[in-house]
Chains A and B, each alone.
Chain A
Amino acid sequence: MTTAPLTAAARPSRATAEPWPVRVLLLGVAGVFLGLFLVLPLVAVFAQALENGLAAYGAALVDPDARGAIGLTMLTAAIVLPLNVVFGVAAAWAIAKFEFRGKSLLLTLIDLPFAVSPVISGLIYVLLFGAQGWLGPWLAAHGIKVIFAVPGIVLATLFVTCPLVARELIPLMQSQGTEEEEAALVLGARGGQVFWRVTLPNIKWGLLYGAILCNARAMGEFGAVSVVSGHIRGLTNTLTLHVEILYNEYNFAGAFAVASLLTLLALVTLGAKQLVEWRTRRGGRAERAAEAAPAGGIP
């Protein structure tokens, strides 16, 4: 009853809308496509993970190799995340707040890790640091292991995830312009104060989402890490590589149990994106409301 006037108001006029059979058909096609490619794989992950019951599910997660993989994945993310956040903020500050020569070239180059196959992202570090690589003999002579060890995994993950935070911040900071920072400078703020008190509060939600996305991709990277890891159980196995090993051993329930952890992380990331978009929209509305309201009118 209550929804009837709403739908009537939202219904577009007949001249600029499709006839209803076409609408139903298009919605059906979209629904079947998304159901087949997005919903079914999600359901499959959890269904297969719980196939042998909750006890088997738990056992697969507390297995020593699984715990080692969780530890290594978290260590990698803990190193990669701060570095890429600092890089993202620095790159976005330079690109969004200043005009300089070669800016559009830099903007294109930043996307390079997205354009390159993850396998190539791993390969380049093998060529540099591997046994047959340029620095390989020197590293071997000094007893430093990069490839088939944790440093290689960290480097490959750094490469793959380095544009994420910058990509999230650049459009946001470009749309905000430089007026607020300039006003703060005129009012006597120092450089650091301008950043911490003016810029950071403006970009905090975008930065948070960039960091969450970067974390999810760092924990979920497979191709690049697979090339540099060497798959040493308990030592150089990340979560995704552990999934691969279990699957190739026909331990499907175990593979999907570990995979379900990564799937949950992906779902949390999608939820965070919605939350951040909602916060930014609300922030924008509150700001506009504050501007419209007479001075002192906002409690």
Chain B
Amino acid sequence: MAIAALQLRKRSVLPGFGLALGFTLLYFGLVVLIPLAALVVRGMQVDSAAFLKTVTAPRALAAYRLSFGASLAAAGLNVVFGAIVAWALVRYRFPLKKVVDALVDLPFALPTAVAGIALTSLYAPTGWLGRPLAALGVPVAYTPLGVVVALTFVGLPFVVRTVQPVLEDLDAELEEAAASLGAQRWQTIRRVILPEVLPALATGFALALARALGEYGSVIFIAGNMPLKTEVVPLLIVIKLEQFDTGGAAALALVMLAASFVLLLTINLLQRWSTRRRAPLGD
């Protein structure tokens, strides 16, 4: 181990390591790392008083509130319903199961702008769902609730796809043992299954949250984009850019980037937790 740690890489007979890693680093550096570094440097260049003024302006604060609030709500909805969908897909038999399973990935494949206009047309006051909901006194499109709907759509696959493999690998003997020891079904679910699934649920929540925070395409159509009311942070960045306020856009983007980094780190830790939990069962 000590020797391996000193070397750049462990010895291997396979060729092409230098070429492959060199190309990877060069390409990734040029396309991703250098441009991102440019954002950090540009954000830092903004005079600190102006930076603070931009990122704490009432319009920015309202946008953070909406972005974080709606993203948390959407990720929460996805945990509840995503867990139920994953459970149904793994445990129950029903017609068209393969099609339903494939369809869960739709939000990954469908362009966000298409999702945005489709959801807006459904939930607009004249839409198939918007009309009855408006009659009930619950307008969805052009309100914060509409933002939650769009963000729930984009985050839908994450919880299902993180929980599904864990449920599939779950040892049936654990449940049988719990049942034979006299546990009620709901006790088994709460005390045996839930603890196993918890890390995957948390990972799925964090992934859906990270995706929702940065979402732009599906939100801008359904949100209505009223300043202080239904403006998400990514939209505010675009507005700053359109007003040629690149410094302001960079400052807001830097705040969002910091939030993304924290989430990415959390997701990594959660994934480590979940593989550690699953390791003794897998072997």
Q: A259 touches which one: B118, B175, B249 (CB < 8 A)? A: B118
Give the distance in Å from the alpha carbon of A91 to the alpha carbon of B7 in the complex. Answer: 20
CB of A90 within 8 A of chain B?
yes
Binds B, one of A57-65, A106-114, A280-288, A290-298: A106-114
Chain B residue nearest in CB terms to A104: B268
Contacts of B129 in A (CB 8 A): 36, 40
Give the distance in Å from the alpha carbon of A87 to the alpha carbon of B118 in the complex. Answer: 34
Contacts of A267 in B (CB 8 A): 109
Q: A270 touches which one: B103, B114, B117 (CB < 8 A)? A: B103
Contacts of A7 in B (CB 8 A): 93
B15 touches A124 (CB 8 A): no
Interface residues of B in 233-266 (CB under 8 A from A): 233-235, 237-238, 241, 244, 246, 249-250, 253, 256-257, 260-261, 263-264
A44 touches B121 (CB 8 A): yes
CB of A227 within 8 A of chain B?
yes
CB of A220 within 8 A of chain B?
yes
B213 touches A273 (CB 8 A): no
Q: B185 touches which one: A19, A39, A239 (CB < 8 A)? A: A19
B17 touches A33 (CB 8 A): no
Binds A, one of B50-58, B84-92, B194-202: B84-92
Given contacts A185-B14, A221-B111, contact A15 B180 (CB under 8 A): yes
Contacts of B105 in A (CB 8 A): 270, 273
Contacts of B14 in A (CB 8 A): 97-98, 178, 181-182, 185, 194
Given contacts A115-B210, A223-B217, A273-B105, contact A99 B238 (CB under 8 A): no
A116 touches B257 (CB 8 A): yes
Contacts of B175 in A (CB 8 A): 16
> How far apart are A127's CB and chain B's nearest CB, in angstroms?
5
B113 touches A222 (CB 8 A): yes
* Binary interface encoding of chain B residues 256-283 relative to chain A, with 1 for a CB under 8 A from any of its CBs, else 0: 1100110110001000000000000000
* Binary interface encoding of chain B residues 1-27 relative to chain A, with 1 for a CB under 8 A from any of its CBs, else 0: 000110111101111110111011001
CB of B172 within 8 A of chain A?
yes
Interface residues of A in 108-132 (CB under 8 A from B): 108-120, 123-128, 130, 132
Contacts of B264 in A (CB 8 A): 108, 111-112, 115
Contacts of A66 in B (CB 8 A): none
CB of A150 within 8 A of chain B?
no
Contacts of B257 in A (CB 8 A): 116, 120
CB of B164 within 8 A of chain A?
no
Give the distance in Å from the alpha carbon of A270 to the alpha carbon of B106 in the complex. Answer: 7
Q: B38 touches which one: A19, A98, A127 (CB < 8 A)? A: A127
Chain A residue nearest in CB terms to B118: A41
Main secondary structure of the interface of A (DSSP, over half): helix
Give the distance in Å from the alpha carbon of A292 to the alpha carbon of B205 in the complex. Answer: 43
A244 touches B113 (CB 8 A): yes
CB of B39 within 8 A of chain A?
yes
B153 touches A37 (CB 8 A): yes
* Binary interface encoding of chain A residues 213-245 relative to chain B, with 1 for a CB under 8 A from any of its CBs, else 0: 100110111110011000000000001110110
B244 touches A132 (CB 8 A): yes
Interface residues of B in 26-57 (CB under 8 A from A): 27-28, 31-33, 35-36, 38-39, 42
Q: A26 touches which one: B87, B119, B180, B268 (CB < 8 A)? A: B87
B114 touches A240 (CB 8 A): yes
CB of B188 within 8 A of chain A?
yes
Q: A262 touches which one: B88, B111, B244 (CB < 8 A)? A: B111
Contacts of A16 in B (CB 8 A): 172, 175-176, 179, 185, 188
Most buried by A among B109, B129, B185: B109
* Binary interface encoding of chain B residues 103-125 relative to chain A, with 1 for a CB under 8 A from any of its CBs, else 0: 11111011111110111011000
Give the distance in Å from the alpha carbon of A155 to the alpha carbon of B84 in the complex. Answer: 40
Contacts of A174 in B (CB 8 A): none
A38 touches B104 (CB 8 A): yes
20 contacts between A and B (CB under 8 A): A26-B87, A33-B81, A33-B84, A34-B104, A98-B21, A99-B12, A110-B28, A113-B32, A114-B211, A115-B261, A123-B253, A128-B38, A155-B31, A178-B14, A191-B16, A216-B109, A222-B112, A222-B216, A222-B217, A259-B118
Please list the residues of chain B having a beta carbon within 8 angstroms of any beta carbon in chain A: 4-5, 7-10, 12-17, 19-21, 23-24, 27-28, 31-33, 35-36, 38-39, 42, 81, 84-85, 87-89, 91-94, 98, 100, 102-107, 109-115, 117-119, 121-122, 128-129, 152-153, 156, 172, 175-176, 179-180, 185, 188, 210-211, 213-217, 221, 233-235, 237-238, 241, 244, 246, 249-250, 253, 256-257, 260-261, 263-264, 268
Closest 6 CB pairs of A and B: A117-B214, A220-B111, A100-B9, A15-B179, A191-B15, A223-B216
> What 16 new A-B contacts, CB under 8 Å, besides A38-B103, A98-B17, A125-B35?
A13-B176, A94-B20, A95-B24, A98-B9, A100-B10, A101-B5, A117-B213, A118-B112, A133-B246, A158-B31, A159-B31, A162-B32, A247-B221, A256-B118, A259-B113, A259-B114
